[in-house]
Amino acid sequence: MAAAENDDYYVAQTHDLRRSYRLRSEEIHALRGVDISVNRSEFVTLMGRSGSGKTTLLNILAGLDRPTSGTVTVLGHNIGAMSDEQLARMRRENIGIIFQSSALMPLLTAIENVELPLRILGWPRADRERRAHESLEVVAMGHRARHRPYELSGGEQQRIGIARAIAPKPALIIADEPTGELDSVSAQRIFGLFRSLVDDERVTILAATHDRAIIRRADRVLELRDGNLAEHE
């Protein structure tokens, strides 16, 4: 499912977005009427305390969760009107997701994990091997290409997860604490990568983070407070 061709559209936009769920006898209001607009080729960071709704918002924008009410448009598509199959196709083709945990396939090597989304998209073998190697080198993990996740540290697994997310050259990257497991040197490398993706390849990045270094490289900082969104001061 291709993204819209118009350069002027918002890559991600919500209006009066609300998400509530029940936890035993208590009703939790994770999002309370969030309005957000993210432009093409913009690097936006999302801050907020634990439980403020950051992960819920990212999951909805990635089509992994559905809102209780409100509208959500991603890459020119009203995702509230899309089937699970259509959402999965949009994620495969246009969205790179970086989870708090790397979520690697445990029986696959690093390069096989990075190749997997390209294989699903039908890339020819030579092209996907080349692109997987390129992506691993970008995160300084080329030397670990043949290792399996249990042979890697948490930070190394996270870098493999980042390589997998960028390999298909997505239009939008959604990242939930992408550098939480990384040392400062590795984190700086990833910050530089994100900035170059935005500036040179017109990728849009929305990243939840507490890391001040990544915040300083962002075009805009938003903050969630108890399910409400505000421009960060």
pLDDT tens across 166-187, in order?
999 999 999 998 888 788 888 8
Which has the higher per-residue pLDDT, 8 or 137?
137
Total domain count, the chain? 1
As a whole number, mean pLDDT of residues 143-169 equals 93
Q: Which tokens is 54 given?
A: 């950051």
Q: What is the DSSP letter of 143?
A: G
* Residue that the structure tokens 């993706």 belong to: 197
Does 139 reside within a domain?
yes
Domain presence at residue 6: no
Residue 152 covered by a domain:
yes
Whether residue 133 is contained in a domain is answered as: yes
Distances (CA, A) of 217 to 28, 44, 123, 132, 196: 33, 9, 33, 26, 11
Examine residue 3 and state whether it is found in any structural domain, yes or no.
no
> For residue range 24-53, what is the model confidence (pLDDT) as tens digits?
888 888 899 999 999 999 999 999 888 888
What pLDDT was estimated at residue 183? Answer: 84
Classify residue 135: in a domain, yes or no: yes
- Decide: helix, strand or coil at residue 51: coil
| pLDDT, tens digit, 9 for 90 and up, residues 98-151 | 987 778 999 999 999 999 999 999 999 999 999 999 999 988 899 999 999 999
What would the DSSP string read from start to end of 40-64? TT-EEEEE--TTSSHHHHHHHHTTS
Whole-angstrom distance, CA of residue 206 vs CA of residue 41 = 10
CA–CA gap between residue 143 and residue 152 (Å, rounded): 12
Q: Is residue 47 part of a domain?
A: yes
Residue 1 lies in a domain: no
pLDDT digits (tens, 9 = 90+) for 62-112: 999 999 999 999 999 998 899 999 999 999 999 999 987 778 999 999 999
Domain that holds residue 223: 12-231
Instruction: Give the CATH number of the domain where residue 198 resides.
Output: 3.40.50.300
Largest CA distance in the chain: 54
pTM above 0.75, yes or no: yes
How much is the pLDDT for 7?
A: 45
* Average pLDDT across the chain, whole number: 89
